[in-house]
Amino acid sequence: MKKPIPKIYSFLALTAFLCSCSQNETNEIDAKAESQQFKIINVTNHDGKPFSTGDSKTTRTGKYVDNPGGGVMMQAFYWDVPAGGTWWDTVNSKVTAWSNAGIGSIWLPPASKAQNGAFSMGYDPTDYFDFGDFNQNGTTETRFGSKTELVSLITKAHTENMKVYADIVINHNSGGQSEANPFTGTNTWTNFNGVASGKFKRSYNDFYKNSYGNNDEGAFGGFPDLCHASPYVQDWLWLRADGVGKYYKNTMKFDGWRFDYVKGFGSWVVRDWNANVGGFSVGELWDSNVNTLNDWANNANSSVFDFACYYKMNDAFDGNNLALLNDDMMWKRNPYKAVTFVSNHDTDEISNKLLAYSYILTHEGYPTIFYRDYEEWLDKSKLNNLIWIHNNKATGNTSILYSDNDEYIARRNGYNGNPGLVVYINNSTTWQERWIQTNWANTQIKDFTGNSSWYPTTQGDQWVKIQCPPKGYTVWSINQ
């Protein structure tokens, strides 16, 4: 049974509020409040549990340990990164700076040898145990480099107290030889008995259709569809000590998994992998329906990318309707299993990216930063500032204070001595100001982005006026 998102709507008693204001502010506040029709939406739909990023650091160079629903993840690649075997070294050269900025984990592209050899992005896997150390598919190194370089990168990341997630493609395989297939009555490209590593050899028995059935949840791109119902396949993927999952975790030292195209197989596959192998996991379930995302995450016992949030942000920021941010998203349903993002190697639709990053880096969920956004396309100093805010201020559950077409204001309510924050996003072309209610009485606050020079003091009833620049954002918290 699907549970609708519980929201608590509380309309503020403006009469009581006005009585507590000083006389010279009453008229201005009354006009503001009347025009805004203040409404606070408390997002308390995870049983009231506080949401925290973990250890609170006070320095820009603090190291952060990631956890499901906390920290910041870097997608450390994009589609068609430079070929030539240099990518592992490129990422290696950046992990110290990323860690100093507060990034706690990196997600790497599929690391094993694929059909297209030195030119493959890894999503057409042939040999799960060839990391660039076997001469296979026309090359020894993968597009990204050698096994030695990959191990060096993982070791360096761990030295910097960062986790490393492997992109795992287990829906389909590619690069097998042709063989007669009695289940299809034709020849199929399903003979992987000659893989150079000699591990996880496969034949037509290990792909649909076969003795276990005609198909599972979905095939992809005409590739041979791996049969997870086969005990042999299960054994090699996640059960045996020298199988794919445990070899990646225990020998290669990966800390977690990004599962590609999970629509192609049952959620039980990820659940069984996680139960037998362990580590953080997130599934790519490309679906904007929150019920679908939440059901899969619960059934798989895994995090899931918050495509519902992604598409709402696209419509809100590019469609000039920030009120859409009131709608349901995975991070509101289950923040500890929601991985939020602004763009990735497959999709890049949002134009107002800094506004979107200001949203995911101040709200609940496990935010992901896209390599090209950070290293090439956006202002790195502004992203670093938002990462710092996320790691130091973004604690507690969320109350949406105000939204309309152009403006959105939300409050993180703080946790365990951390005061939380108020984020103000303005998609209009002019400066905006709003009276809002904080959790702080008679306290000076400031904008931690530096976009506003105001240092207002909250009133005894916790109300204060804040501002936000055009096409910009501010993030307010106690001045300390």
pLDDT, the chain, mean: 88
For residues 407 and 394, give the distance between their C-alpha atoms in angstroms, rounded to a whole number: 20
Lowest-confidence range among 29-38, 179-188, 352-361, 426-435?
29-38
Query: Rounded mean pLDDT of 433-455?
Result: 98
Give the H/E segment covering residue 315: helix 307-318
Q: Sign of torsion, CA 299 305 309 312?
A: negative
Contact 195, 127 (CB under 8 A): yes
Q: What is the pLDDT of residue 70?
A: 63
pLDDT exceeds 70 at position 26: no
Q: What is the pLDDT of residue 6?
A: 30
Residue 56: pLDDT band with limits 50, 70, 90:
very low
Q: What is the pLDDT of residue 34?
A: 36
Give the H/E segment covering residue 472: strand 472-478
Residue 419 lies in a domain: yes
Examine the domain organization and report whether 31 and 121 are in the same domain.
no
Contact 27, 390 (CB under 8 A): no
Residue 20: pLDDT band with limits 50, 70, 90:
very low
Query: Rounded mean pLDDT of 332-349?
Result: 96
Instruction: Output the domain CATH number for residue 36.
Output: 2.60.40.1180
Q: What is the pLDDT of residue 480?
A: 87
Contact 72, 370 (CB under 8 A): no
Instruction: Output the domain CATH number for residue 131.
Output: 3.20.20.80
Give the H/E segment covering residue 274: helix 267-277
Residue finishing a domain among 305, 329, 353:
305
Examine the domain organization and report whether 35 and 138 are in the same domain.
no
Query: Rounded mean pLDDT of 250-264?
Result: 98
With tokens 């999503």, the residue in question is 123
Examine the domain organization and report whether 283 and 139 are in the same domain.
yes
pLDDT exceeds 60 at position 55: no
61 or 90: which leads in pLDDT: 90
pLDDT exceeds 60 at position 12: no
Query: Rounded mean pLDDT of 219-238?
Result: 96
Q: Are strands 463-468 and 225-226 parallel, antiparallel or unpaired?
A: unpaired
Examine the domain organization and report whether 13 and 86 are in the same domain.
no
pLDDT exceeds 50 at position 37: no
Percentages of the chain per state (helix, strand, coil), in multiples of 5: 30, 25, 45
Residue finishing a domain among 278, 305, 332:
305
17 or 231: which leads in pLDDT: 231
| Residue from 344, 339, 391 nearest 365 by CA | 339
Contact 167, 108 (CB under 8 A): yes
Tens of pLDDT, residue by residue over 136-168, are 999 999 999 999 999 999 999 999 999 999 999
Residue finishing a domain among 257, 274, 305:
305
pLDDT exceeds 70 at position 348: yes
Query: Rounded mean pLDDT of 332-354?
Result: 96
Examine the domain organization and report whether 28 and 162 are in the same domain.
no
Q: What is the pLDDT of residue 40?
A: 55
Residue 345 lies in a domain: no
Examine the domain organization and report whether 100 and 44 are in the same domain.
no
Looking at the structure of the chain, the number of domains it has is 2
Q: What is the pLDDT of residue 71?
A: 87
Examine the domain organization and report whether 183 and 223 are in the same domain.
yes
Tens of pLDDT, residue by residue over 94-131, are 999 999 999 999 999 999 999 999 999 999 999 999 99
Return the beta strands (E) in 105-211 as ranges.
105-108, 113-114, 125-127, 163-168, 177-181, 186-191, 207-208
Q: Sign of torsion, CA 124 126 130 134?
A: negative
Give the pTM.
Answer: 0.89
Examine the domain organization and report whether 45 and 145 are in the same domain.
no
Q: What is the pLDDT of residue 21?
A: 36
Lowest-confidence range among 13-22, 113-122, 278-287, 299-308?
13-22
- Quote the domain boundaries for residue 445: 7-49+399-478
Q: What is the pLDDT of residue 41?
A: 58
